[in-house]
Amino acid sequence: MSDRVRYTLAAALVLGCLVAWLVDSPSGPTPAPQPDGGLSFRGLFISPTAAADAASLAALCDEIAGTIEYDGSREGGPRLKSGVAFDDLRIAARESRMRGESLGARQPHVRDAIHKYLDKAVGSSGGPVTPEQRSAWVAAYRELGRACADAAR
């Protein structure tokens, strides 16, 4: 077999592999699987601001978790007593930290994943929360912070 035939066959093989890879590629961003089955936002943050958005959201989620946790240990009882209060805290924290910018608008895949995760982890009730439910909220926001920080790397 001549060198020219070998090069032609090699080029055709490479081209075939490339076409197969492109056809088999997913059409949208998908999170990378975590070995431990934990929450992952890798691949969901997209745009030139992706890493900065992920880092900002990680810090925001960690701060919300810390605030809910602290509030539950206040002498005299918690000030934040319901799911609605936790949501108001999230809104106020986002507005003050992001100064009017919407990460949800810039990162809709992440916004939707967070919404789905929180509904599953803590439910959607706006009513009173028990100490156990408060702990679940804290754990959920810590997990969101961890997943966002991981995506920022």
Tell me how many degrees the CA angle 95-101-61 measures, rounded to the nearest 5.
55
In this prediction the pTM is: 0.75
pLDDT grade for 2, boundaries at 50, 70 and 90: low
pLDDT grade for 36, boundaries at 50, 70 and 90: low
- pLDDT at residue 135, as a whole number: 97
C-beta separation of 103 from 111 below 8 A:
yes
Mean pLDDT of 138-151: 97
